[in-house]
Amino acid sequence: MIEPISITALSSISPLGATLEEIWSSYQSPNHLFQKRDFGHGLEWIAPLSKSSKQEIEMLRSSDSKHKNLDDSVLYAIYASRKAIENAGWQNDKNFGINIGSSRGATSLFEKYHEEFILKKRASTLSSPTTTLGNISSWVAHDLQTLGPEISHSITCSTALHALLNGMAWIKSGMANKFLVGGSEAPLTPFTIAQMKAMKIYSNGKSDYPCRAMDLEKMHNTMVLGEGASIACLENGTPENTLAVIEGVGYATEILEHNISISADAKCFQRSMTMALGKTKPKEVDVIVMHAPGTIKGDVSEFKAIVKVFCNKKPFLTTNKWKVGHTFGASGMLSIELAILMLRYQKIVAVPFTAYGSTPSKVQKVMVNAVGFGGNAVSVLLTK
């Protein structure tokens, strides 16, 4: 018999807060967490960390001279990883793997160093080591003094869930018993915002809810960027401190027709959800936490894929991007966090501007979706 793999601890820092209790409290409010900020060409909606969370990060930065030159994406990951292993009781166990990815990586530092290069025609000494993609996992491993493997990767917006897949593969292979997995993103920079606006997917904010994620009737794209890190501890079996058991995982990639394409009925999601279900009957799934980035095509295609897979047994649908924005590579693990909170408190979190016919009386199984540019989808089925 193959032992199950469990999530035994979870920690994050995001606009929602920095503790599970604070985060759950944030979810009880129908208000979004967006603010307007000037990025040089007018005000734009973003979802930044709270003032208190920013202070925590600045304290971390000043606690070690080596931290002062690190990007926020690295510091977010270090902060959340410390809390995760503390919650899991791993402080004295150094033999675990690390896989923390990011879609963008050290965005702010890269922009800073590139601007210096344009002005001075030379690169800063630290411009390369502080902006490499492997910077996040390697710095977390250094900070935690681990002996296990460390992996970094970028698979755009499904990065965190691909990290979960990698961690599971290592554990199932017998090469590791524990893995720290997740994603970190600090994309609130002028160039990144400009990139999203260039694709015409960014919100113009002309609504009470700037991001209309899961609104299938919207006439305009409404994606808003957020920042943060979310980290999970994976272990073999079902220890006493298990938060959720991973019942199934699925993954799929579509053949590109365009750089950011996804089919009208998201065939990648159809395949990933079907694989994640395995022998589980569709009617047994109570909730799906959708990727739903707030774009017209992205939201509708994922919904159509759900209808194809679940037919008339469609679960309760929700997302957190209407509230916290799209955190790119960290978003999938923040969705896992929402799923685990709903499992813990036996209460659903609804999208406030969505009409629901009914709500589930129990939350026993939750599916989480994530997909990145080009249709690299991941679906994870969690159970209590």
Q: What single string gives the DSSP state of each residue in 89-151? A: T-TT----EEEEE-SS-SHHHHHHHHHHHHHHSS--TTTTTTTSTTHHHHHHHHHHT--S-EE
Q: CB neighbours of 143 closer than 8 A, spacing ≥ 6?
A: 78, 81, 82
Which residue range forms the structural domain that includes residue 338?
246-383
pLDDT average, residue stretch 322-346: 98
28-79 tens-digit pLDDT? 999 999 999 999 888 999 999 999 999 999 999 999 999 999 999 999 999 9
| 215 and 331 share one domain | no
- Tell me whether residue 241 is in a domain: no
What per-residue confidence (pLDDT) applies to 257?
Answer: 66
This prediction's pTM: 0.96
Give the CATH number, domain containing residue 263: 3.40.47.10
Helices (H) and strands (E) in the chain, counts: 11, 13
Q: Is it the case that residue 365 has pLDDT exceeding 50? A: yes
pLDDT average, residue stretch 128-138: 90
| 252 and 270 share one domain | yes
Tell me if 105 sits within 8 A of 139, measured CB to CB: no
Show the tokens assigned to 47: 């979802």
Q: Is it the case that residue 264 has pLDDT exceeding 90? A: no
Of the residues 236, 254, 283, the one at which a domain ends = 236
The distance between the two most distant Cα atoms of the chain, rounded to a whole number of Å, is 63
Beta bridge partners of residue 245, listed in sequence order: 6, 383
| 257 and 356 share one domain | yes
User: What total of structural domains would you count in the chain?
Assistant: 2
- Measure the CA–CA gap between 13 and 75, rounded to whole angstroms: 10
- Tell me whether residue 138 is in a domain: yes
| 228 and 250 share one domain | no
What per-residue confidence (pLDDT) applies to 261?
Answer: 62
| 313 and 231 share one domain | no
pLDDT average, residue stretch 293-305: 96
| 132 and 259 share one domain | no
- Measure the CA–CA gap between 299 and 293, rounded to whole angstroms: 7
Residue 268 confidence class, pLDDT cut points 50, 70, 90:
very high
188-220 tens-digit pLDDT? 999 999 999 999 999 997 789 999 999 999 999
- Measure the CA–CA gap between 137 and 370, rounded to whole angstroms: 21
Alpha carbon 243 to its chain centroid, in Å, reads 18
Of the residues 189, 210, 236, the one at which a domain ends = 236
Share of the chain above pLDDT 90, in %: 89
- Measure the CA–CA gap between 261 and 264, rounded to whole angstroms: 9
pLDDT average, residue stretch 361-375: 93
| 339 and 287 share one domain | yes
| 190 and 269 share one domain | no
Residue 1 confidence class, pLDDT cut points 50, 70, 90:
very low
What per-residue confidence (pLDDT) applies to 42?
Answer: 87
| 232 and 252 share one domain | no
What per-residue confidence (pLDDT) applies to 17?
Answer: 97
pLDDT average, residue stretch 259-286: 90
